[in-house]
Amino acid sequence: MKVKVSKMRLSLLPTLGLAVLLTGGVTLLALWCQPNAFRTVLGIFLRQPLLIVLNALPVGLLILAFASLFRNVFLSAALVNLIVCALSIANRVKIEVRDEPVFPRDFALLKEVGSALGSYDIRYPVVQIAVVLLATVLLIALGIFVGSKPLPLSRLGGWIASLLGTAVSFGVLAALILTVYASDGIYNSFHVSNAYYIPSVFNELGFPYCFCHQFTTYPVDRPEGFQKSEAASWETGDQPGQGENVSVIMVMNEAFSDITDEPVFTYSPENDPLPNFHALRNDPHAVSGRVVVPGFAGGTANTEFDVLTGMQTNALSASATSAFRVVNRNLDSLFRVFAADGYETSFYHPGDNWFYNRENVYDWFGAEKTLFANEMENLEYKGRWVTDDYAASLIESAFAGADSTPLFHFTTTIQNHMSYTADKYGPDYTFPPVETSAALSDEAETLLKVYIEGARDADAMLGRLWRYFEAQTEPVVLVFWGDHLPYLGDNMQAYAELGLEVAVGYEQKNPFSPYETPYVIWANDAAAEALDWEAMVQTLDLPKKISASFLGAAVLELTGRGEASPWFAFLNDLRREIPVVQRGDFLLSDGTVVKELNETQTAQIQKWRRWSYYKLCYKELR
């Protein structure tokens, strides 16, 4: 016996009304699946009503698209509910496991996701999964009994009208993603508790909106002429075990610079803010110069990225890029080269592990151990930031704990982080005067006083590490440099009042001046003997000025690992010809600055870009 099910078919207006109601329901369910309290989300949305629209719009357009295709608003809502809520649940799980939300780019990493699932103790939100599945089943059941009439377009066939409605809905959604959802102005206009903590932003602004916004953020441009097979052919010839077993300690100090060496400052030798730096760079076992970093007055993690990977932040995309935000897979880095030679490898940072997504990125870089402020004991503060002296003590402990195993260690400090306001170290802190021949405004003088006090402490950290490793019998190479110049007021106020070229602008004689920080590489007696220091430094051909992307490769060559990796060997060769590459300006080996390269040099830069793209997007590493 056959049972005939009568199906109600709704006209256009009731279908649209149901689509609106179902959009609200699916959106609320997706928000309920987020890891934060649902009541908190609703409170934020009520205070910022535009968020309601921005979270609901993509859900509604997807429901309309599939409703046109299926001629059934309930079946459409069932599919959209399953997709959107599944992504929201995946976002919840990823935040809880890796403290990072789901991004659109994660779809390109499904293979890595599958292999990584077994590496984590995942607690799936069973209640949320059950509710989403139940809602989906109920919507399917309603769809069996209630459908929609074809779109009332008399001149078009039924299916052509349906396909047209689907295409229009998807087209509108795509246009909104490329315009409204791509707008940083709108995105940054919303109040959030911590704009730098991306999981918190997702939780507070809503997963659907933030997910759509991320479609156009942190892009990596495909270089012209890129061929995956060609780039893969460059990845042959790794030769681990070639270098000397000397421990390498790299310290990137927050905003460290030697601006007080400028003639406009009048410090006497007794009041020199950087006595240890000046003494160390004159040591016979030291080489020093200037490193050209990716940005001015910010972008600490971009400098980390450039030094450790040999890639360039500024070449990843035509738009502004946060390098650590494009990293989402295992990458070659200094950590992996040293680890292949049996080194212990570690990264320390006395700041939050979520900032710049460092917790995940250093795992992808291959650091065996990471240590952040939340795991450090007995933290010592000067103002709101952990002191450089405390960071130095951690480095000493890391070295002592390595025993007889050589150590590759990287620390990023934080004490001299902006802002340089008078209350940075407390309301009663007394700063030494700024000794300068320039007439300074009160604001510029305050900025300089506070900044230079931090520079003194950075220099003291350098002196402490120098003395500590000088006393060791094990060979050690110490590398110390600044991540960027300090921010000293809007429109480079203090630089301008000092008359420094940094503030002049693009037409300055030295286009690299806003991006230059000092570096020093020093070996203790044991390392100098093991490396045959004078001969090695001479063969290194290290110029006085190099891009940050070449610093790590130079350190590898200095320790005898110049050929350990074809990638870093290529960088050392490129550095010998074009030691500085900074956007549209190039410093050649003969000291000239040019804006255009010859054909051979251009080909080498293109190879660098294509190889970087391959590593970021395709190279498989365990």
Same domain, 152 and 276: no
Please give the pLDDT value at position 164. 85
Q: State percent of the chain over pLDDT 70.
A: 93
User: Which pLDDT does position 550 carry in this prediction?
Assistant: 98
| Distance, CA of 493 to CA of 587 (rounded, Å) | 28
Q: Residue 257 in contact with residue 517, Cβ under 8 Å? A: yes
Backbone φ and ψ of 21, nearest 5°: -65, -40
Domain presence at residue 237? no
* 353: CATH: 3.40.720.10
Handedness of CA 57, 58, 63, 69 (dihedral sign): positive
Q: Which residue has the tokens 């070229």?
A: 501
Contact by Cβ (8 Å): 345, 408: yes
Give which of 85, 120, 90, 114 is closest to 102, Cα–Cα.
90
Give 148's pLDDT tier (boundaries 50, 70, 90).
low
What average pLDDT does the segment 530-547 reach? 95
Give the chain's mean pLDDT: 92
Instruction: Please check whether residues 430 and 296 belong to one and the same domain.
Output: yes
591 belongs to a structural domain: yes
Residue 222 falls within a domain, yes or no?
no
* DSSP per-residue string spanning 321-375: --HHHH--S----HHHHHHHTT-EEEEEESS-TTGGGHHHHHHHHT-SEEEEGGG
Report CA-CA distances (Å) from 178 to 165, 182, 184, 216, 448: 20, 5, 11, 7, 42
Q: What residues contact 592, with CB distance under 8 A and at least 6 apart?
A: none
* Neighbour tally for 251: CB within 10 Å: 23
Place of tokens 């292949």: 340
Do the domain assignments include residue 378? yes
Residue 179 to residue 183: CA distance in whole angstroms: 6
pLDDT at 536 over 60: yes
Considering only 207-211, 234-238, 411-415, 529-533, which range has the smallest mean pLDDT? 234-238
Residues 440-465: what's their mean pLDDT?
Answer: 97
Nearest to 246 by CA among 536, 567, 594: 536
**Tally of structural domains, the chain:** 2
Query: CB of 45 within 8 A of CB of 205?
Result: no
- Asked if 202 and 278 sit in the same domain, the reply is no
Q: Are residues 161 and 253 in the same domain?
A: no
Phi, psi of 155 (to 5 degrees): -80, -10
Residues 451, 331, single domain; the answer is yes
- Say what the pLDDT of residue 582 is: 94
More confident residue, 609 or 37: 609
Residues 468 and 507 in one domain: yes
Measured at the alpha carbon of residue 333, what is the angle toward residues 327 and 338, in degrees to the nearest 5?
150
Cβ neighbours for 394, distance < 8 A, ≥ 6 positions apart? 348, 350, 371, 376, 411
pLDDT digits (tens, 9 = 90+) for 478-506: 999 999 999 999 889 999 999 999 987 65
pLDDT digits (tens, 9 = 90+) for 286-332: 999 999 999 999 999 999 999 999 999 999 998 767 899 999 899 99
**Among 174, 199, 216, which residue terminates a domain?**
216
Give the pair of three-digit tokens for residue 470: 């000088």
Query: Could you list the residue range(s) of the whole structural domain that residue 324 is in?
Result: 247-617
DSSP line for 219-286: --PPPTT--HHHHHHTT----TT-S---EEEEEEETT---GGGSTTB---GGG-S-HHHHHHHTSTTE
pLDDT at 196 over 90: no
The pLDDT value given to residue 110: 59
Residue 226 included in any domain: no
Q: What pLDDT score does 288 carry?
A: 97
Block residue for tokens 């080489």: 287
Do residues 316 and 196 share a domain?
Answer: no
- Among 117-126, 168-177, 519-528, 550-559, the minimum mean pLDDT is found in 117-126
For residues 289 and 180, state if they share a domain. no
Q: Rounded CA gap, 339 and 367, in Å? A: 9
Residues 506 and 610 in one domain: yes
Q: What is the dihedral of CA 92, 96, 97, 98, to 10 degrees?
A: 90
Q: Per residue in 343-395, pLDDT tens?
A: 999 999 999 999 999 999 999 999 999 999 999 999 999 999 999 999 999 99
| Among 176, 193, 216, residue at a domain's last position | 216
Position 273 in a domain = yes
Convert the pLDDT of each residue in 89-136 to its tens digit.
999 998 888 778 998 888 766 555 555 555 556 788 999 999 999 999
Q: Residue 231 domain-assigned?
A: no
* Closest to 390 (Cα-Cα) out of 409, 375, 376, 370: 376
182 and 280 part of one domain: no
Q: Are residues 422 and 531 in the same domain?
A: yes
Q: Please report whether residue 229 resides in a domain.
A: no
Per-residue pLDDT at 147 exceeds 60: yes
Q: What are phi and psi of 611, to 5 degrees?
A: -65, -40
Q: What pLDDT is recorded for position 154?
A: 43
Same domain, 310 and 373: yes
Gap between the Cα atoms of 19 and 56, Å rounded: 11
The percent of the chain in helix, strand and coil, each rounded to the nearest 5, is 55, 10, 35
